[in-house]
Structure 1
Amino acid sequence: MITQAEYFGRCYDSRTVHLLVTLVGLMTLLPFLAVQIAGAAKILSGVVDRQISYDAAVLICVASIWAYVHFGGARAVVWTDGLQGIIVAGILGISAWLFVDWAGGVSSGLDRVARAMPEKLVFNRENGPQFLDQMLSWTFAVFLFPHIFQRLFMARAPETIRRTSIISGAIMLVMMACILVMAIFATAELHGTLDDPDELIVAMYRQHWREGGVILMIAVLALSMSTIDSVVLSVASLATRDTLRGQLRIDLSAATELSLARWISLALLALASLVALQGIGRDAIAPWVTLGASFCTLLLWPLIGSTWARGTAAAAIAGMAMGFVAICLARFTHLCEGLPFGFATCGFLVGGTCFLGTCLLQRQPVRS
């Protein structure tokens, strides 16, 4: 198995590209991991009517995931992802149908949403940039996340990679469509009654079918554990293979690397749980997920460059570095206020411009 950073480093024969992809991967996965834990904990706490506090739910999730990672490793991901994806897609499909029925049908539900929040059904200056940010970031992030990209190289045959990519994409499309339907019709039913929008789906089950919420909780926790397992393993690989071996040139035995990876996984889960227990985890998690996905979009430029004759290491570096700076400035400062788009779009445009401009300015391609 090869890591994403190692793959791009080999494509460009550049340690700088290797290092930047490693850093971007870490910036992508850390917020994603924290919000995964926070989301699973909110579902667990909400389904049991706060009999388990949010803090206790975070600790339960982290302890379960640590055991899963420690004893399962990569095999836990390979053998469980497919089955869990199919089961969760089925549960989400049933949930989407139930939500439509509980909201009084398609026409009734959409009419209620239109009356409750008509401003959300048209593009305007407030929701337009957010919509564009999410469309851009998530369109590319679904295959550029380091833990997803890395798993492509677990298969031994290209045909297996193609087949599993098609199946995974189809399952993901079904799941996203069902979640969208659930969110729309839960909003129609519960608009204005909740303080935390992350509890919308849990509250819908709690109001109409409490036992069904337990089933949903089990499904989401199972899927979250597998996803978080993948993220933790990817970060451990980035730390051991890409940083210690790739950048620092430290020679590690297989046993030492495995031991370090386990300790790094434990430290990472502890860090993610601390973040989830802070205000970031308790607030709405969607903006932080989008931030991680926007960082992930920066990996599009080395990917395009690896298949384009004019793609160079300098162009990949420029696209990632300048895109990262643009995202941070647009998200965490006031320098980009007044722009008609959000931080993900800003990073995408700046990174793409720098990548293409560098490619065109270099007369001779570095790679054939």
Structure 2
Amino acid sequence: MNPILISILLYLLLTLLVSRVAAARSANESGFSRQHFLGGQFMGGGILALSLVATYTSASSFIGGPGAAYTFGLGWVLLAVIQVPVAMLTLGVLGPRLWTLAKSSQAVTILDIFRDRYQSKPLLWLAGISLVAGFLGMIVVQFTSGARLLSVVAEIEYTTALLLFVATVVIYTLWGGFRAVSYTDAIQGLIMLAGMFALLMGVLSYGGGVAHLTSQMAEIDPGLLQPHGPDGFMSWPFLLSFWVLVCFGTIGLPHTVLRVMAARDGKAIARAMVLGTAVTALVTLLPHLIGALGRPLVSNLNSPDEVIPTLMVQLFSPWVAGLLLAAPIAAVMSSVDSMLLQATSTLVNDLAMQGREFTEPQQKWLTRGVTLLVAASCTLLALDPPQMIIWLNMAAFGALQVVFLWPLVLGLFWPVARSEAALTSVLAGLGCYLPMTFMKIKLANMHAIVPALAVSLLGFVLAQWWLSRRR
């Protein structure tokens, strides 16, 4: 059997073992929904930091991002590190207030927070539908990315790779719920770091050091060493858009917010801010730097996205390459498991179970059935993903920010904020973001997320002002 495939199979078995241990640790906890979808408030600072970073990190960080750095050079590396404050912003801005509210209200999901804060069914349904639609598109693309990576490096059929990847994620998600997902995400965060450190050392050793590699990059195109990239591609409006999309706007992403709700206490949140920022810096910088420096080493790629797996296979023995390839696979798995769990929790806990009484066995069967249904639907789409799904994934990241950012932040910090203002914010933001995204409209060369979040905020403030005037 292919040594690379054996190494990857061993890694997948490790994730299942960790999920089994996590499930055993939470087996005696009461309340199926809270245990399965949130796991209780159990995360210490280290687990919280690693799980938060691993959840935020996806295929784009290890596949698409390094591919862009391969194409645009060191300027893209500088652009990528804009993401470094993500953990500090999420934990520092939302942490204490969100954790306190989740504990007092026994909230299990982000929609429980909305329900407790706003008491608005239209807002809950709109947010729930947006969350499920966004995550379904993102899950399909993550399934596709993981399967293609396995297929290429392990030299197996795409369908086989897809089924292997999906089966592993579904089994450990069903097996241990949120606690299993969190522990596996933490391990995957460590694997990402170890894999990228080893690959960077290999690139520097094989390429003769940074000075030699950068001189070769300058010979290919001097723009590869410029802050704004070849031909000034990365303009200031582009930089602003990127910062809003991948840094500031992530404060409101449901799958990262959920980690804050599961923190053990305030001290864990404070420790995770420091450790999470350091881990984010490394997980962001290392793969992008490798992608840029790898330009002189691998010049005949079918796609720039292949730079990381190609370097791993070329610079290391098959056994070592298989272990290193666990890093990008971990990046995909650590995102898709959280999305799958959140989509299920929204459909089951926030929509199906509201106003109805279910016994604990009924809750378990409903949860498992919905999880399998969501995974099966996404797997069928991933067998031959239409182009629309790819565009939906790109739109979904920003759309989730438009829906959740201001209602969550202003709901926590503006005591008089009302549900009508939050609903206006969501409708105004989506009404701006979706047409601009799908019609490819750009204002001042900015990504649609910038004007959409501005319109969403303006809608919230104006609606709240109008409501206060009527009182």
Question: Deviation string for 1:143-185 (max 9, x for gaps)?
Answer: 4332221232223433334434543343223211112212212
Match of 2:323 among 215, 225, 228: 215
Distance 1:47 1:233, change over 3 A: same
Question: Deviation string for 1:220-244 (max 9, x for gaps)?
Answer: 3345334322221111110011111
Question: Deviation string for 1:305-364 (max 9, x for gaps)?
Answer: 111245332222222222122221112125x25752222223223223322333344436
Contact persistence 2:250–2:401 (CA under 8 A): no
Match of 2:186 among 49, 67, 82: 82
The equivalent residue for 2:446 is 341
- Deviation of 1:210 after TM superposition, in Å, equals 4.5
When the two structures are superposed, what TM-score results if normalisation uses the length of structure 2? 0.67
Contact persistence 1:143–1:149 (CA under 8 A): yes
- Deviation of 1:17 after TM superposition, in Å, equals 2.6
C-alpha separation between the residues in 1 aligned to 2:379 and 2:221? 35
Contact persistence 2:426–2:456 (CA under 8 A): yes
Distance 1:131 1:194, change over 3 A: farther
The equivalent residue for 1:350 is 455
- Length, aligned pairs only: 358
Question: Kindly, what percent of the aligned residue pairs are identical?
Answer: 22
- Structure 1: which 5+ runs fail to align? none
C-alpha separation between the residues in 1 aligned to 2:223 and 2:177? 47
Distance 1:103 1:245, change over 3 A: same
Match of 1:300 among 399, 405, 427: 405
Q: How does 1:313-324 map to 2 (within 5 A)?
A: 313-324=419-430
- Name the stretch that deviates more: 204-213 or 3-12: 204-213
C-alpha separation between the residues in 1 aligned to 2:462 and 2:232? 30
The equivalent residue for 2:100 is none
State the one-letter code of the partner of 1:57.
A
C-alpha separation between the residues in 1 aligned to 2:172 and 2:219? 46
- Deviation of 1:125 after TM superposition, in Å, equals 8.4
The equivalent residue for 1:241 is 349
Contact persistence 2:192–2:327 (CA under 8 A): yes
Distance 1:279 1:229, change over 3 A: closer
Distance 1:309 1:288, change over 3 A: same
- Deviation of 1:7 after TM superposition, in Å, equals 0.6
- Deviation of 1:137 after TM superposition, in Å, equals 1.5
Contact persistence 2:134–2:392 (CA under 8 A): no
Contact persistence 1:295–1:324 (CA under 8 A): yes
C-alpha separation between the residues in 2 aligned to 1:169 and 1:338? 32
Question: Deviation string for 1:218-275 (max 9, x for gaps)?
Answer: 23334533432222111111001111133xx232222212211111111211222233
- Name the stretch that deviates more: 230-239 or 95-104: 95-104
- Structure 2: which 5+ runs fail to align? 1-37, 39-107
Match of 1:13 among 101, 119, 137: 119
- Deviation of 1:62 after TM superposition, in Å, equals 0.8
Contact persistence 2:395–2:434 (CA under 8 A): no
| 1:168 and 2:168 are equivalent in the alignment | no
Distance 1:170 1:254, change over 3 A: farther
State the one-letter code of the partner of 1:205.
M
Distance 1:255 1:202, change over 3 A: same
C-alpha separation between the residues in 2 aligned to 1:343 and 1:178? 28
- Deviation of 1:214 after TM superposition, in Å, equals 0.9
Contact persistence 1:40–1:61 (CA under 8 A): yes
C-alpha separation between the residues in 1 aligned to 2:388 and 2:456? 32
C-alpha separation between the residues in 2 aligned to 1:148 and 1:338? 29
C-alpha separation between the residues in 1 aligned to 2:116 and 2:430? 22
State the one-letter code of the partner of 1:291.
A
C-alpha separation between the residues in 2 aligned to 1:282 and 1:177? 31
The equivalent residue for 1:274 is 380
Match of 1:139 among 247, 250, 254: 247
C-alpha separation between the residues in 2 aligned to 1:344 and 1:204? 34
C-alpha separation between the residues in 2 aligned to 1:281 and 1:215? 32
Match of 1:52 among 130, 148, 156: 156
Contact persistence 1:36–1:228 (CA under 8 A): yes
| 1:327 and 2:433 are equivalent in the alignment | yes
The equivalent residue for 2:362 is 256
State the one-letter code of the partner of 2:419.
A
C-alpha separation between the residues in 1 aligned to 2:176 and 2:348? 18
| 1:202 and 2:306 are equivalent in the alignment | no
Question: Deviation string for 1:256-308 (max 9, x for gaps)?
Answer: 1221111111121122223333345899x7x7654332123221111221112
C-alpha separation between the residues in 2 aligned to 1:132 and 1:276? 33
| 1:96 and 2:204 are equivalent in the alignment | no
Q: How does 1:52-71 map to 2 (within 5 A)?
A: 52-71=156-175
Distance 1:59 1:332, change over 3 A: same
- Name the stretch that deviates more: 210-219 or 173-182: 210-219
Q: How does 1:124-135 map to 2 (within 5 A)?
A: 127-128=234-235, 131-135=239-243
Question: Deviation string for 1:98-134 (max 9, x for gaps)?
Answer: 3344444323433444554556742778654654443
Contact persistence 2:173–2:181 (CA under 8 A): no
- Deviation of 1:59 after TM superposition, in Å, equals 1.7
- SS at 2:358 equivalent: coil
The equivalent residue for 1:109 is 213
C-alpha separation between the residues in 1 aligned to 2:331 and 2:233? 33
Distance 1:281 1:71, change over 3 A: farther
C-alpha separation between the residues in 1 aligned to 2:297 and 2:454? 38
- SS at 1:86 equivalent: helix
State the one-letter code of the partner of 1:218.
A
C-alpha separation between the residues in 2 aligned to 1:281 and 1:170? 36
Match of 2:138 among 9, 32, 41: 32
